[in-house]
């Protein structure tokens, strides 16, 4: 087989780090103070206080408490001033002051009352992409507000205030990015310095935001620290952008400066025009050197930010979309080409944030699918398991048969249900395709009607071709194969056994009656007609169209015994002579359905 021309593995590195050490108390020269609103002298909490030197370099920073109190320090004496950043309001500066060695000074700051509004800013007024735009431009006003939120998020990362409950997501989508093929979720609850963090800015700027190789590809997303870094700001320019599909938001678009050939990102920071809060960052990779066809996956991602009550900010959600390629031979010229098989999406969500004051943030439910499972009398069916095929997402209906699946991304899902009365038949109804729309205020709806047992039996083997009206075995006996045998394989400890082979044997006959019997080992002169089936994940099996009015001998094969499940003629193996491994059942022609549960020995762990 030719070597794939493009990597078939996609891996994301977006590190999650454990909580670092406790922040040490202030030492050296200390500045204490209180920030109040200049209009009514009310305390201003959640504002960022930065200690600046004579050249306006930031030396330390802290968020004000609800009381407006703050404390910052510096290891060296000198001349300083304070800056107060409050999202949605003009930045306030104190006068310069001197700090001698060992000094502690107290300063009262009055925050500017004038609100900053980004509404009405026209993107067309400043279309030039600027590196570190100078003061006075509209793009600078927007960047200043975005910087305040990013600075608060970076500060939160450094301090490690919270305990997070997080959900990691790995989804496989179809090539159009809508159909959800599979989704895996994992949950984690832990104290962390921050929920999600990128690589260092210097590393990303020097080595790139992605690495495309023949065996695997690695993608990185930016966080607040990266976007605020000198390395990023010196290699990216900014311009304003508006989008009719994003009413109420002002976009600050960024892209690499000309001449950057390394794997890079371009994107947009979206800021609420009314309150100047940063909502999210949409970004896309460029310079990836992807094969033709894979670039239509538009690899990129999203980083969402959220403000917490005390003025701290976190990355509340992130996603990275990556193309998934497959190799095939072109039918036109026989060349080996890579085509887009689908899109892999990896990411994470913060579900809850816990601080010393309790739960300080709880995520919304995201996309939802809701409905009712009815029984045959149109009454709600409790205890039904509703699930999304190809994923681990499931829920159980309540007493009224109602259910809701939440935390779903936009996309098309195949939704199905099962119930214990259906499980024993190893039967699943047909799934329904349900679309979850981005931003929908109400759940997508789907209702299920559970079939009667008789209807289940009618459909149970509809996908298995029935045999002829009758089968004549060597010796002349006629077998009429009208029945269905179902059951469950369990260990003697009560655990279900999945992927076990169950063999249903009909009747002994003499192998010598068949042509070519001379090549058969004469020590095994007997054989049987039969079928073999495999148990599902819950240990259930179903054998279709087995004979009625005759002895059926049923056994579970030992691991390692291979048998074609479609084989209708099965020779003995020596282990089959162990009578304890077989159960016997006869299905009367009037019944045509039977249940037989099987037990196997528990394997030592």
Q: Answer whether residue 26 shows pLDDT above 60.
A: no
Alpha helices in 103-169 (DSSP H): 138-159
User: Domain for residue 464, yes or no?
Assistant: no
Q: Which residues pair with 443 in a beta bridge?
A: none
Which of 509, 510, 553 is closest to 532 using CA atoms? 553
Could you tell me if 359 and 422 lie in one domain?
no
User: Domain for residue 494, yes or no?
Assistant: yes
Q: Answer whether residue 527 shows pLDDT above 50.
A: no
Token output for 259: 């001449």
DSSP 234-295: HHEEEEEE--TTSTTEEEEEEEEPTT--SSEEEEEEEEETTT--EEEEEEEEES--PPTTGG
Angle at 159 between CA 153 and CA 165, to 5 degrees: 75
User: Domain for residue 535, yes or no?
Assistant: yes
Could you tell me if 533 and 402 lie in one domain?
no
Could you tell me if 561 and 425 lie in one domain?
no
Neighbours of 80 (CB within 10 A): 20
User: Domain for residue 145, yes or no?
Assistant: yes
pLDDT band at 292 (very low <50, low <70, confident <90, very high): confident
Could you tell me if 398 and 346 lie in one domain?
no
Token output for 167: 């959900």
Task: Please say whether the beta carbons of 479 and 467 come within 8 A.
Answer: no
Q: pLDDT for 533-565, tens place per residue?
A: 889 888 889 998 888 888 898 999 876 555 544
**Residue 303: predicted pLDDT:** 93
**Residue 241: predicted pLDDT:** 85
Could you tell me if 124 and 160 lie in one domain?
yes
More confident residue, 589 or 304: 304
Could you tell me if 303 and 206 lie in one domain?
yes
Among 306, 336, 363, where does a domain finish? 363
Neighbours of 357 (CB within 10 A): 8
Task: Please say whether the beta carbons of 416 and 386 come within 8 A.
Answer: yes
Which CATH number characterizes residue 543's domain? 2.60.40.10
Task: Please say whether the beta carbons of 180 and 173 come within 8 A.
Answer: yes
Low-confidence winner among 8-17, 101-110, 204-213 (lowest mean pLDDT): 8-17
Mean pLDDT over all residues of the chain?
81
| Positive/negative CA dihedral, 559, 562, 566, 569 | negative
Could you tell me if 359 and 317 lie in one domain?
yes
Among 412, 430, 456, where does a domain finish? 456
Could you tell me if 185 and 231 lie in one domain?
yes
Q: What whole-number distance in Å separates Cα of residue 54 and Cα of residue 228?
A: 21
Task: Please say whether the beta carbons of 209 and 281 come within 8 A.
Answer: no
pLDDT band at 280 (very low <50, low <70, confident <90, very high): very high
User: Domain for residue 451, yes or no?
Assistant: yes
State residue 572 phi and psi, 5-degree precision.
-65, 150
User: Domain for residue 445, yes or no?
Assistant: yes
Q: pLDDT for 124-169, tens place per residue?
A: 555 678 888 776 688 888 898 899 889 888 888 777 667 888 888 9
**Residue 25: predicted pLDDT:** 42
Task: Please say whether the beta carbons of 565 and 499 come within 8 A.
Answer: no
Mean pLDDT, residues 452-474 taken together: 75
User: Domain for residue 431, yes or no?
Assistant: yes
Among 456, 486, 502, where does a domain finish? 456
Could you tell me if 401 and 271 lie in one domain?
no
Could you tell me if 444 and 477 lie in one domain?
no
Q: Answer whether residue 274 shows pLDDT above 50.
A: yes
Could you tell me if 356 and 281 lie in one domain?
yes
**Residue 460: predicted pLDDT:** 83
Place of tokens 């080992």: 521
Which CATH number characterizes residue 402's domain? 2.60.40.1120
Domain encompassing residue 443: 367-456
Q: Is 158 helix (H, G, I), strand (E, B) or coil?
A: helix
How many structural domains comprise the chain? 3
Token output for 56: 């306006």
Mean pLDDT, residues 32-47 taken together: 90
Q: pLDDT for 62-79, tens place per residue?
A: 999 889 999 999 989 999
User: Domain for residue 465, yes or no?
Assistant: no
Could you tell me if 269 and 396 lie in one domain?
no
Q: Answer whether residue 235 shows pLDDT above 80.
A: yes
pLDDT band at 113 (very low <50, low <70, confident <90, very high): confident
């Amino acid at each position: 087989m030719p070597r794939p021309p493009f990597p078939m593995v996609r891996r994301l590195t977006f590190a999650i780090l454990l909580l670092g050490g406790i922040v040490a108390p202030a030492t050296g020269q200390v500045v204490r103070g209180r920030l109040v609103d200049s209009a009514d002298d009310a305390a201003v909490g959640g504002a960022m206080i930065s200690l600046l030197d004579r050249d306006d370099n930031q030396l330390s920073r802290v968020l004000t408490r609800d009381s407006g109190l703050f404390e910052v320090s510096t290891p060296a004496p000198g001349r300083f001033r304070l800056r107060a950043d409050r999202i949605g309001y003009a930045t306030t500066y104190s006068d310069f002051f001197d700090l001698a060695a060992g000094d502690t000074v107290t300063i009262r700051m009055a925050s500017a009352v004038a609100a900053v509004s980004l509404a009405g800013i026209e993107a067309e007024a400043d279309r030039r992409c600027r590196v570190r735009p100078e003061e006075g431009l509209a793009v600078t006003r927007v960047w200043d507000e975005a910087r305040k939120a990013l600075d608060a998020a970076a500060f939160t990362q450094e301090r490690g205030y919270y305990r997070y409950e997080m959900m990691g997501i790995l989804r496989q989508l179809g090539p159009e990015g809508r159909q959800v093929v599979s989704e895996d979720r994992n949950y984690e609850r832990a104290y962390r310095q921050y929920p999600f963090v990128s690589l260092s800015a210097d590393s990303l700027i020097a080595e790139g935001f992605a690495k495309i190789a023949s065996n695997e590809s690695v993608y990185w997303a930016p966080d607040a620290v990266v976007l605020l870094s000198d390395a990023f700001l010196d290699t990216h320019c900014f311009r304003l952008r508006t989008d009719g599909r994003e009413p109420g938001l002002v976009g600050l678009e960024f892209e690499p400066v000309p001449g950057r050939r390394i794997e890079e990102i371009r994107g947009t920071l979206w800021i609420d025009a009314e309150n100047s809060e940063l909502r999210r960052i949409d970004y896309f990779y460029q310079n990836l050197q992807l094969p033709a066809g894979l670039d239509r996956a538009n690899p990129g991602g999203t980083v969402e930010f959220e403000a917490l009550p005390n003025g701290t900010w976190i990355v509340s959600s992130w996603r990275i979309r990556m193309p998934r390629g497959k190799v095939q031979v072109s039918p036109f010229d026989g060349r080996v080409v890579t085509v887009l098989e689908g899109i892999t999406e990896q990411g994470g969500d913060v579900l809850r944030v816990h601080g010393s004051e309790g739960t300080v943030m709880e995520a919304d439910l995201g996309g939802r699918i809701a409905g009712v499972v009815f029984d045959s009398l149109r009454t709600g069916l409790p205890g039904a398991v509703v699930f999304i095929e190809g994923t681990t997402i499931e829920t159980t209906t309540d007493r009224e048969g109602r259910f809701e699946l939440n935390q779903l991304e936009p996309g098309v899902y195949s939704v199905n249900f099962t119930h214990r009365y259906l499980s024993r038949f190893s039967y699943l109804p047909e799934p329904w395709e349900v679309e979850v729309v981005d931003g929908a205020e109400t759940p997508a709806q789907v209702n299920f009607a559970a079939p009667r047992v008789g209807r289940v039996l009618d459909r149970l083997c509809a996908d298995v071709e029935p045999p002829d009206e009758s089968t004549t075995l060597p010796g002349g006996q006629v077998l009429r194969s009208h029945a269905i045998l179902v059951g469950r394989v369990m260990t003697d400890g009560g655990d279900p056994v999945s992927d076990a082979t169950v063999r249903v044997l009909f009747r002994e006959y003499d192998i010598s009656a068949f042509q070519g019997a001379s090549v058969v080992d004469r020590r095994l002169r007997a054989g049987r007609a039969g079928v073999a089936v495999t148990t599902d994940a819950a240990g259930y099996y179903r054998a279709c169209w087995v004979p009625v009015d005759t002895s059926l001998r049923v056994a579970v094969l030992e691991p390692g015994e291979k048998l074609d499940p479609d084989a209708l003629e099965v020779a003995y193996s020596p282990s089959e002579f162990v009578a304890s491994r077989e159960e016997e059942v006869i299905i009367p022609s009037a019944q045509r359905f039977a249940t037989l549960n099987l037990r196997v020995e528990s394997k030592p762990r």
